[in-house]
Chains A and B, each alone.
Chain A
């Protein structure tokens, strides 16, 4: 696996670089897997009747599932040598069972912090077929290449 991965290095990245789009279907099975995988059994994630009483369409992905998808967008693009320093996200709309979600992003800033770490700030937007759902920003730490 390690032999075929694409790796990006800090000094080869610039603001405006595009972070590739990834798309993933979210069937009911995946939302139930989400509850099991994250041990988050809040009923909005597995009980459609409860979710509807909350004002939701049906059961929806939890925060950890969306975090993992955002992280995957960043690390599929930059490679597994990426350390996620910070991730901030706003769940403006839910992602429901039956949706197809996708995410893509852009590099905003490349800099070194006071500890000498090589960092990039990126923005990522998660959408479904119904429009934008979760805007996020991240700070990624990457190695440099001589």
Chain B
């Protein structure tokens, strides 16, 4: 059995004290592989069953915003790394997944996004993520672990601010049944 099957989502392991050393660390700025494109917008809108004319109707979007805009909920997707690339190693732009902790899994628990301007077709997202807090060990309904709070800054190719996202996830070991 290969590693990807035995361990579907590889994490770094370590102690809470080791994790604290990552506080205030930032990822290198990630430049999205893809530009904002209408095809991806339509696939996401089909998921949401969202007929918003700003995403579908070029004439309306041009008049209202100056062009088709990306749904705000797609913000994270533009900078996702490909599953495989001929020359680049796969890397996540989420700093939280690089932090060494005891938990063998994670789940997202809260997120706040403040949007400054739209993303338009052809824009290329840049993102920089920073670890701003790690909780002491907590025992929750799901398991025992730590809450990690991160803040990501998203800009476009002109270095204009698109959004700031503050996110909290729980890195934990599930309770045994």
Measuring CB to CB, which residues of chain A are less than 8 angstroms from any residue of chain B? 1-2, 5, 24, 30, 33-34, 36-44, 47, 50, 53-55, 62-65, 67-72, 75-76, 80-81, 83-91, 94
Measuring CB to CB, which residues of chain B are less than 8 angstroms from any residue of chain A? 8-9, 40, 43-44, 46-54, 56-57, 59-60, 63-64, 71-74, 76-77, 80, 83, 105, 107-115, 118, 141-143, 174-175
From the candidates A34, A38, A83, name the one contacting B76 in the complex (CB within 8 A).
A38
Complex Cα–Cα for A90 and B59 (A):
36
Complex Cα–Cα for A110 and B30 (A):
37
Question: Looking across the interface, which residue of chain A has its beta carbon closest to that of B166?
Answer: A88
Are A38 and B74 neighbours in the complex by a CB distance under 8 Å?
A: yes
Q: List 14 additional contacts besides A37-B47, A68-B44, A84-B115; criterion CB under 8 Å.
A: A24-B49, A30-B47, A54-B142, A54-B174, A64-B44, A64-B76, A68-B47, A68-B73, A76-B50, A80-B53, A80-B54, A80-B64, A86-B114, A89-B112
Are B83 and A54 neighbours in the complex by a CB distance under 8 Å?
A: no
Complex Cα–Cα for A86 and B114 (A):
4
Question: Looking across the interface, which residue of chain A has its beta carbon closest to that of B4?
Answer: A43
**Given A68-B71, A71-B71, also A33-B46 (CB < 8 A):** yes
**Given A37-B47, A40-B80, A44-B107, also A71-B57 (CB < 8 A):** no
